[in-house]
Amino acid sequence: MVTLSKIYTRGGDAGLTSLGDGERRRKDDLRIEAYGTVDEANSFLGVARAALGEASNEAKLSQILAAIQNDLFDLGADLCVPEGAGAPSRLRVTQQQVDRLEHEIDALNADLLPLTSFVLPGGSQAAAAMHVARAIVRRAERVMVTLTAQPGESVGAPALKYINRLSDFLFVAARHLNRFGEGDVLWTPGGVP
């Protein structure tokens, strides 16, 4: 349990922040950008959940998204402590989390109409919110991949797998919310829908 008695510390006033192992880095450091973008995606998932209705399929999806939001906090914790730093008991994203997400993708995808075109972001308000969250997750993935290319930096394989699967999940969830694909807005190449 985390207990915060004071919200501001003034420690970041000069443009630096602390990683989970206490190391100080600039706020524009790629590692900070990575977990900051994960936080942004998590925040928008909260917006997406707020757009869900009370129908049984949307209530079930909200439960899944609640678990994903917790996973994203795990991912942020994983990213804020570089591999090899601190105690080996540091929180890391696991393959079991990836497997659970794959199971959720398969379950949602089983009820969808087959794709016949690329899907434009849109449809219902909740589906559109899922598409925005998906785009933010893709950005987080790009930052994480860029981070792994930096000398002395790494990101665990399960964390990279998880963020990649999450964008797939959000795409499928958006289609699920668009009446199982019937309400998808399809791309019309070179034309006007």
Domain of 47 in residue numbering reads as 24-185
Confidence band, pLDDT 50/70/90 cuts, at residue 82:
confident
Residue 143 included in any domain: yes
Q: Does residue 193 register a pLDDT over 60? A: no
Residue 190 included in any domain: no
* Phi, psi values for residue 100, rounded to 5°: -60, -40
Residue 10 included in any domain: no
List pLDDT tens digits, range 135-157. Answer: 999 999 999 999 999 999 999 99
Residue 1 included in any domain: no
Residue 180's CATH number: 1.20.1200.10
Residue 3 included in any domain: no
Residue 12 included in any domain: no
Residue 55 included in any domain: yes
Within 7-156, strands assigned E span 16-18, 24-26, 119-120
Q: What angle do CA 96, 93, 149 make, to 5 degrees?
A: 125
CB–CB of 58/17 below 8 Å?
no
Residue 19 included in any domain: no
List pLDDT tens digits, range 166-191. Answer: 999 999 999 999 876 667 777 778 87
State the total domains in the chain: 1
